[in-house]
């Protein structure tokens, strides 16, 4: 089952600020949000988790981590 996360959860999970999440998205360096309506967006939890694992892999020597969905 795919879980969607609102911005507050994304910020708590990543430790990033709201503005930095949107900056990284604009640069193509963070998962894109999913529109839920006129004024609501969310992120796919597994995509955010994969992004975190990629940061850890880069830190640990550039080895890509593949996550089974």
Q: Can you tell me which residue has the tokens 């999970």?
A: 13
Tokens representing residue 61 in the block: 């020597």
pLDDT in tens, the chain (69 residues): 999 999 999 999 999 999 999 999 999 999 999 999 999 999 999 999 999 999 999 999 865 555 555
In the chain, where the domains are located: 4-59
Q: How far apart are CA 12 and CA 46, in angstroms?
A: 15
- What's the predicted TM-score (pTM) here? 0.83
Could you say which of 2.60.120, 1.10.287, 1.10.238, 2.20.25 is the CATH number of the domain covering 4-59? 1.10.238
Distance separating alpha carbons of residues 11 and 59, to the nearest angstrom: 20
Cβ atoms of residues 41 and 23 within 8 Å: no
């Amino acid at each position: 089952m795919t879980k969607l996360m609102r911005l507050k959860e994304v910020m708590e999970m990543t430790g990033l600020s709201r503005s930095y999440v949107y900056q990284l998205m604009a640069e193509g360096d963070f998962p894109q949000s999913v529109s839920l309506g006129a004024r609501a967006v969310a992120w796919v939890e597994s995509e955010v988790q994969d992004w975190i694992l990629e940061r850890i892999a880069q830190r640990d020597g550039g080895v890509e981590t593949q996550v089974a969905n």
